[in-house]
């Protein structure tokens, strides 16, 4: 009797945890925060980054066919769905939902024309690893990079939101 109670209690806890995870995942915004909260809340900028300093960064392209992707994700975990646990390969995912090769090539071209160096690519064409001087990064993305003083330390910070590359 005691064992049955423990199993029932564990099952209920697991179920509630899954419900909590799913509900919090659905309520999260997909927008990435590009500017630190401390900057937005008025933490003091103590200077600008050296224009010759080299930084590494990752640029991410958005996924395509978001509604279809949402349906697929639901079906993957629905035991009554014919797609239940039929996961995609990286190639299948990229073909259906990843940025197009044309868009990825355009991003690479934009980066190189902006004086940035391509240091890595991703198989799904979502991320592009780059490096470049602060001057080239600021010019390419129309941002300001500065030094922020918060919590008794100084750190590099993005002072303005990056522009969308068309």
Tell me 51's DSSP state.
T
Annotate 70-83 with b (16+ C-beta within 10 A) or e (fewer): eebeeeeeeeeeee
Asked whether residue 42 carries a pLDDT value surpassing 80, the answer given is: no
Asked whether residue 21 carries a pLDDT value surpassing 90, the answer given is: no
Q: What is the pLDDT of residue 5?
A: 32
> How many angstroms separate the first and last alpha carbons of the chain?
65
- Percent of the chain's residues with pLDDT above 70: 62
Q: What is the pLDDT of residue 162?
A: 61
Q: Do 59 and 128 contact (CB within 8 A), yes or no?
A: yes
Q: What is the pLDDT of residue 77?
A: 94
pLDDT bin (cut points 50, 70, 90) of residue 41 is low
Question: What is the token pair recorded at 150?
Answer: 């918060």
C-alpha distance from residue 30 to each of 20, 63, 66, 110 (Å): 18, 11, 11, 24
Taking the CB of residue 138, how many other CB atoms lie within 10 A of it?
20
What is the average per-residue pLDDT within 18-32? 35
Beta strand pairing call for 127-133 and 117-121: antiparallel
Asked whether residue 136 carries a pLDDT value surpassing 50, the answer given is: yes
Tell me 99's DSSP state.
P
131, β-bridge pairs: 56, 117
Q: What is the pLDDT of residue 46?
A: 74
Q: What is the pLDDT of residue 37?
A: 60
What is the average per-residue pLDDT within 10-17? 34
* pTM more than 0.75: no
Residues 108-127: tens digit of each pLDDT: 999 999 999 999 999 999 99
Domain ranges in the chain are: 1-30, 31-62+99-166, 63-98
Residues 57-111: tens digit of each pLDDT: 999 999 999 999 999 999 999 999 999 999 999 999 999 999 999 999 999 999 9
User: How is domain 31-62+99-166 classified at the architecture level of CATH?
Assistant: 2-Layer Sandwich (3.30)
- Percent of the chain's residues with pLDDT above 90: 53
Q: Distance between alpha carbon 149 and the CA centroid of its chain, in Å?
A: 25
Q: Do 130 and 53 contact (CB within 8 A), yes or no?
A: no
Classify 107 as helix, strand or coil: helix
Taking the CB of residue 4, how many other CB atoms lie within 10 A of it?
8
């Amino acid at each position: 009797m005691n064992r049955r109670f423990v199993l029932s209690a564990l099952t209920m806890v697991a179920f509630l945890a899954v419900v909590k995870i799913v509900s919090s995942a659905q309520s999260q915004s997909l927008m990435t925060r590009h500017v630190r909260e401390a900057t937005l809340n008025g933490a003091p900028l103590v200077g600008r980054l050296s224009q010759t300093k080299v930084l590494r960064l990752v640029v991410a392209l958005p996924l395509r066919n978001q509604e279809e992707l949402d349906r697929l994700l639901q079906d993957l975990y629905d035991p009554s769905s014919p797609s239940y646990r039929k996961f995609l390969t990286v190639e299948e995912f990229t073909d259906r939902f990843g940025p197009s090769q044309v868009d990825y090539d355009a991003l690479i071209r934009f980066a190189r024309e902006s004086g940035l160096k391509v240091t890595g690519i991703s198989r799904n064409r979502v991320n592009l690893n780059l490096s470049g001087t602060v001057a080239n990064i600021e010019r390419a993305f129309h941002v300001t990079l500065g030094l922020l003083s918060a919590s008794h330390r100084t750190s590099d910070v993005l002072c303005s939101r990056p522009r969308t590359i068309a």
